[in-house]
Structures are given as C-alpha cells and as structure tokens.
Structure 1
Amino acid sequence: MTHHLGANQYGKAETRVVRIVRDSPVHEIRDLNVSTTLRGDFAAAHVAGDQAAVLPTDTQKNTAFAYAKLHGVDSPEDYALALARRLLDACPAARQAQVRVEQYAWDRIGDHSFVRRGGGVRTAVVTVGPDEAHVLSGVEDLVLLNTTDSEFKGFLRDEFTTLAEADDRILATALVARWRHTTTDAGRETDWNASYDAALATLLSTFAGTYSRALQETLHAMGGALLDAQDGLAEVRFSAPNKHHFLVDFSPFRVDGLTNEGEVFVAADRPYGLIEAQVVRDDAPPAGDAWLGVPGFC
C-alpha cells in the first residue's frame, strides 16, 4: 500500500491579545482573539520529523503580542495584514499566512473604565501570499429578531410534514456574516473601521426593514443591500441559524379566558434550521484562497 502526505497547515489558535492605548489620560482598549496559520512546504516535519523549516507556534503567538505594540491595532483588518506579512517573511517555507481575528467590544464608563458589550463580535480573516492578499471582514453571534412582518407558508409537504403554515411569526437568528474586500494593497486603501461600521448599519437596517417570506429571502436582501452600498465589496456570505420561537399552547390550562394571541412563546435552542447563502457581485474578482480555512460557509 502506498500513501502520501496531503494538504496540511499549522499555527497558533486563540491567542488572547489585549492592547491598552495609554498615550493620554483617556485610555483605549482593543480586545482580540487571534489565530494564525501557515501553509507551505512542511512535508519534512510530517514525514521525517525535521523541524528546520517550521516557525514554532509559540513564535507565532509572541509575534501576535509584539505586533499589537509595534504595529498597533487601529482595526483588526490592518493588524491582521501586518501580522500575516511578518509571519510570511519570517518563514521562507510558507506560501501563505492566514490570520483570523475576533474583536470583542467594550463600552466606556470612565476615562479608564469599561464594561464588556454584548451583541455581535467583529471578525477579520486575512490571507497573505507573496503576490496577493485577501481580506474578509465580518460579524458573528449577531442576534437579531423581528416580532412580526415574517411568514412561512407554501412549502413542500410529505407524509412526515407536521409544521403548520405561519402568516405571522417571530423571525430570529444568530447571524454570522463575512464580506470580501477587493482592495487590500498594504492595507491602506480602505478605511476598515468606517467600512465595518457602515456594513453593520446596512445589515441591521435591512433586516429591520424587510418583510420576510423566509429567512433565505431576508439574507438575500441583506447581502444585496450591502453590495449596493459599498463598491469595494465582492461578495458576502451568511450562516444563519433559525432561532425558532413557538407559540405556547394555553388550551390545556384550566384558566377561563386565558388566550395566547401571539404574545407568549417558547424559545427552542435545538434542533434548528441552518440557512447559508452567498450574494456575489456579478463582476466580482475571483476569491482565490480567500475562503480557505474559514469554516461553515458554502
């Protein structure tokens, strides 16, 4: 029997980097979860145990900390681009470096005091090669809910179908969305923070303002609105669990006059429908390896 080494990569996962900016009495905080990955010619490490070409994962972790100071963290995209380029330079055997960042938000309650904000987590995935770079910005764990203006009916039925049609229902999801940029040169042609803020505002306003006949239709509307609003985006991808809310049946209760007119629901956490979709600009440049290593996206 013959065999060979297939695709492989390695890196340091979930380095927690907290950068405090102290150049004035009013401090700033950047709270990051950083994962790095190197891809390239590392066959000798697997086949012969030869580590000569391997930049240790501990070094990757230390570089993530050092670059939080040396480069700074103006935005997760800008920081990730700088870190990925450094790792690629430091490891000649690597053909690509990928950096994935989750940024947790804090709200100010004083000059040097903060409270951790709930809600969506900002994300960035940067993949850098010798001649190109790809940037995916995004958000995850963005919990959204409409109490009305949503229906679900006219669906296919068979002998196992028990779901009742709904003319008016709660629509809720914990959204993961990532959008691919077309301009990445040196990380300086895009105002990453302004782009993210505008993208999030577009997604939220479209979710709130769209009458939904299915979560699929809502995602398509959100993606189209985002691409229409920002010319520098090539595509957006969504992963959206349908957070089901079922009307509680009061009929078994022995209470006169107790009715449930769409007011009391049970929130079911599983099983749940999972809707995933891409919305792509017609003239979008090819994605290349932009989505390689990003799980959960069709």
Structure 2
Amino acid sequence: MKFSLGANRYGKAECRLVRVVRDGGRHEITDLNVSTSLSGDLEETHLTGDNSAVLPTDSQKNTVYAFAREFGVPSIEEFALRLGGHFVSSQEAVHTANVRMEQYGWNRLGDHSFSRAGDEVRTAGVTVTSDSAWVTGGLTGLTVMNTTDSEFHGFPRDAYTTLPETHDRILATAVDAKWRFSTLDVPWNAAYAMIREALISGFVETYSLSLQQTLFAMGSRVLEKVPEVAEVRLALPNKHHFPVDLSPFGMDNPNEIFLAADRPYGLIEGTVVRDDAPEEGLAWSS
C-alpha cells in the first residue's frame, strides 16, 4: 500500500496585535488578529523531518509585530499584502502565502479612552504568489433590524408546515459578508466604509418579501457603489422574532411584544456577481 502527500500548508494562527499611535495626547488604536499560512516545496519536512525549508511559525509571528512597528497598519489589506509579499520573496521554498486579518472596532470615549464596539469585525484575506496577488475583504457580526416593511407569504405548505403567513414582521440578521476585489489599486479604508454603508442602505431601503430578496439587494448595492468589487458573498441568519400570544391574559398583541429566538434559525446564503468580473487569478480564500 502506497501513500502520497497531498496539499499542505503551515503557519501561525491568531497573532493578537494592538497598535497604539500616540499623536500627542490623542491616541489611535488598531486591534488585529493575524494568521499567516505558507505553502510550497515543503514535502521533505513531512516525509523525512528535514526542516531546512521551514521558516518557523515563531518567525512568522515576530514578522507581524516587527512590520507593524516598521511600516504601520494603514489598512488591514495593505498590511496583509506586505506580509504575504515578504514571505514569498524572502523564502525560496515558499510559493504561496495566505494572510488572514480580523480587525476589532473601538469607540472613542476620550483622547486615550475607548470602549469595545460590539460584535462587528472587519476581515481581509490576502493570497500572494511569486507572480500574482488577490484580496478579499469582509465583515462579520453586523446586526441589523427592520421593525416593519417585511413580509413572508406565498410559500408552499406540506404536512409539516405550521408557520403562518405574515404581511408585517420584524426582519433581523447578523450580516456575514465577503467580497473579492478585481484589482489591487483600491483605497482600502474608503472602500470598506463605502461597502459597509452600501450593505446597510440595501437592507434599510428594501421592502422585503423575503430575506433572499434583501440579500440580492444588499449585494447589488455594493457592486453599484464600489466598482473595484467583483462579487459579494453573503450569509444572513434570520434572527427570528415571534409575536407572543397574550390572549390567555385577556390581551391583544398588535405586533408589539415578541420572543427573540436565538436558535434554530433560517440561514440564507448567496453570491451577487458582476457580470463582467474578471475570473483569472481571483478566487474565494479559504
């Protein structure tokens, strides 16, 4: 019986980095979670234990901190591209570097005081090879709600259907979005702000007959507003709010009192693609 080594990679996962820029008495903070992963001519370390081509994961971690000090973090996309390019260009055995970033937000309370900005996280994924690079951006945990202008009816019914049709419901979701760029010539921070605003406006301004319809509207709004984006992938959990039956207490409930159920939940996923988006060299990062 024979075996062969398949696809493989290695790296340093979840390097926590907080950078404080001290501009006089007013400080700025950048709070990141950085993961690096390298692949290439690394068969020997698997087959014989020869580590001559294996840059230690500790070195990868140290590079994250050293580059943050030397070059700063103008955007997580630019920082990730710099890291990925360094690993590919400095290590002969490394052909591909993947860098994943999470950025946590903080609200300013004063010149040097902050509070954590909820569950929303900005993300980026960068893949660098010897002759190409591509970038995906994203966000998770953006929780939004419309208290009206949402319906759900006209669906098929079978022997197990108990859900009533509704013409006025709460629509709430926690947006998990990724988008891929068709170019590296992008004002990264400004693009992120525009994409986030487009997602929100697409949600707010759509009279929704289904969460699927809202998903398409949100993705389409991003492609309309940010030409550098080739496609948007969205995962929208339906955060159900069920009207509570108050009739046992002699009360009505004119869509005012709800049970917010955390599970189980419907999960709506889809991709909105620009028809003329270039395909070569661009792919969703794992």
TM-score using structure 2 length? 0.96
1:19, 1:218 → 2: CA distance? Answer: 37
For residue 234 of structure 2, what is the aligned residue in structure 1?
A: 238
Helix, strand or coil at the partner of 2:39: strand
Helix, strand or coil at the partner of 1:120: strand
Deviation, 1:65, is 0.9
Gaps of 5+ in 1: 294-298
For 1:241, the aligned partner's letter is P
Aligned pair 1:183/2:194, yes or no? no
For 1:205, the aligned partner's letter is S
The counterpart of 1:199, out of the listed 195, 201, 214, is 195
Deviation, 1:119, is 4.6
For 1:276, the aligned partner's letter is E
Helix, strand or coil at the partner of 2:269: strand
Is the 1:12–1:35 Cα contact (8 Å) retained in structure 2?
Answer: yes
1:244, 1:63 → 2: CA distance? Answer: 44
Aligned pair 1:222/2:215, yes or no? no
Aligned pair 1:88/2:82, yes or no? no
For residue 4 of structure 1, what is the aligned residue in structure 2?
A: 4
Aligned pair 1:209/2:205, yes or no? yes
The counterpart of 2:266, out of the listed 255, 273, 286, is 273
Q: What whole-Å deviation, never above 9, does each CA across 1:84-138 have from its counterpart, x for those lacking one?
A: 1112223222221111111111122222221211252111111111111111111
Deviation, 1:288, is 3.6
Aligned pair 1:251/2:247, yes or no? yes
The 1:67–1:290 alpha-carbon spacing in structure 2 relative to 1, beyond 3 Å, is farther
1:58, 1:141 → 2: CA distance? Answer: 30
Deviation, 1:62, is 0.9
Deviation, 1:76, is 0.8
Deviation, 1:274, is 1.2
The counterpart of 1:261, out of the listed 247, 254, 259, is 254
Alignment of structure 1 residues 1-298 onto 2, 5 Å: 1-184=1-184, 189-252=185-248, 255-256=249-250, 258-286=251-279, 288=281, 290-293=283-286
Is the 2:12–2:36 Cα contact (8 Å) retained in structure 1?
Answer: yes
Is the 2:100–2:123 Cα contact (8 Å) retained in structure 1?
Answer: yes
Deviation, 1:157, is 2.2
Deviation, 1:22, is 1.7
TM-score using structure 1 length? 0.92
Gaps of 5+ in 2: none
Q: What whole-Å deviation, never above 9, does each CA across 1:165-209 have from its counterpart, x for those lacking one?
A: 12111111111111111121xxxx321111111111111111001
2:62, 2:172 → 1: CA distance? Answer: 40
More strand as a share of residues: 2
For 1:124, the aligned partner's letter is A
The 1:289–1:45 alpha-carbon spacing in structure 2 relative to 1, beyond 3 Å, is farther
1:80, 1:28 → 2: CA distance? Answer: 20
Helix, strand or coil at the partner of 1:2: coil
Corresponding pairs, count: 286
Q: Runs in 1 of length 4+ with deviation above 4 angstroms?
A: none
Is the 2:89–2:130 Cα contact (8 Å) retained in structure 1?
Answer: no
Deviation, 1:3, is 2.1
For 1:13, the aligned partner's letter is A
For 2:78, the aligned partner's letter is D
Aligned-residue identity in percent: 56
1:166, 1:8 → 2: CA distance? Answer: 50
2:280, 2:140 → 1: CA distance? Answer: 21
